[in-house]
Every structure is written in structure tokens, then in C-alpha cells.
Amino acid sequence: MTKIGIITGSTRPGRNSLQVAQWVKGIADQRGDADYEIVDLAEYNLPMYAEPVSAAASQNYQTPEAIPWSKKIAELDGYVFICPEYNRGVTSALKNAIDYLYPEWNNKAAGIVSYGTAGGVRAAEALRIIMAELQVATVRAHPSMSLFTDFVKMSEFKPAAVHEKAVNVMLKQVNAWTNALQPLRNKQ
């Protein structure tokens, strides 16, 4: 069965991304079309990226924390990124985690679920550009939540009912693209 990782986009104390990831996983698990799991960046404790050689050139990771991160991302067929918007962009934790790897991301599909004061759409668009460089196909459907209307006091996640349909559309697209890209992953 296809394996889709729901990747949290923040590691800071008091973060909202884990609540959003758990909500997305609850919706995803009802579908039965893939094996979904939450991949919590905080559990990998990745230090600031300082590999001596780019992952695009070599997978000879010198940072011990990079090895389990590489293994996890490589075993997944597709992704859903929970993307909070910090200062009009992706979080430093998410960008750092992405930068550690290269071939592990290639020829896979991804959906983006964003949130922020403006729905996190600027961060999601920045993430699309990053994913393009890594040969990840991002899908069109993009659930976006507002910190003002989908969170109580900007911290307790209470999404509007309309977002569940958007998540299901996004997951349908992620699965379709993930399966379509399977022949390319088999050639790696």
C-alpha cells in the first residue's frame, strides 16, 4: 500500500502543526486508500544544516541525526506538508529538514495544508518552489486555515467544517499523483 507521510512544519514549543497533522491524519485514515503516518520534525532533532557535501551530490551524511531522517523520507511514497507561515515563508525548521536530503524526495507527490494569519498561502507558495527543485510534484488542492477563524486564541485548532472536504480533495490528488509517479521511483 502507498505510504504517505504527514510532515509537521514546526518544532517550537506551543506549535499548532501537530494538532493540524493529527486532524489531517484522522480524515486520511477514513479513506483507506493509503497508509498514512505523522512524521513529526521535532522527533528528529535535526541540527542546523551543516553537511560538508550537498545531498544532491552524495548521501554520505555526516550528521548522525540525518541518517534516520533520510531513512524515513526515503520509505515514503508521498507527503502532506503541514505548513505554518512564519514571516511570510516556510518555517526554518521545515526548510532545514528539507535541505538535509535530495534523492529521498525525488519523483514523489506532495500536498500542502497551510495556516497563518493569511491562511499560510505565502508559505505554501514558497514551499511549492522548493519542492519543484527536489522533483516533487505538488498538487493543486490546498486547504488553508486562518489563525483568526480556525483556531481559538490562535492556539487551539477548531477548523471550520468546510476544510474537511478540501483535505479529502487534496488527499485524492496526492494519491493519484503518487501512484502515477511510481514507475519513476522504480527506476531509481
For the stretch 20-77, pLDDT in tens is 999 999 999 999 999 999 999 999 999 999 899 998 988 899 999 999 999 999 999 9
For the stretch 95-146, pLDDT in tens is 999 999 999 999 999 999 999 999 999 999 999 999 999 999 999 999 999 9
Number of domains within the chain:
1
Q: Say if residues 76 and 4 touch (Cβ distance below 8 Å).
A: yes
Instruction: Give exposure, 88-107, as e/b (b: 16+ Cβ within 10 Å).
Output: eebbebbebbbbbbbbbbbb
Q: What's the domain range around 111? A: 3-186
Whichever domain contains 63, its CATH number is: 3.40.50.360
Q: How far apart are CA 20 and CA 96, in angstroms?
A: 20
Say what the pTM is.
0.96
- SS3 assignment for 28-53: HHCCCCCEEEEECHHHHCCCCCCCCC
Q: Which residues 6+ apart lie within 8 Å of 133 measured at CB?
A: none
> Whole-number mean pLDDT of the chain?
96
Q: How far apart are CA 52 and CA 66, in angstroms?
A: 13
Residue appearing with cell numbers 506551543:
14
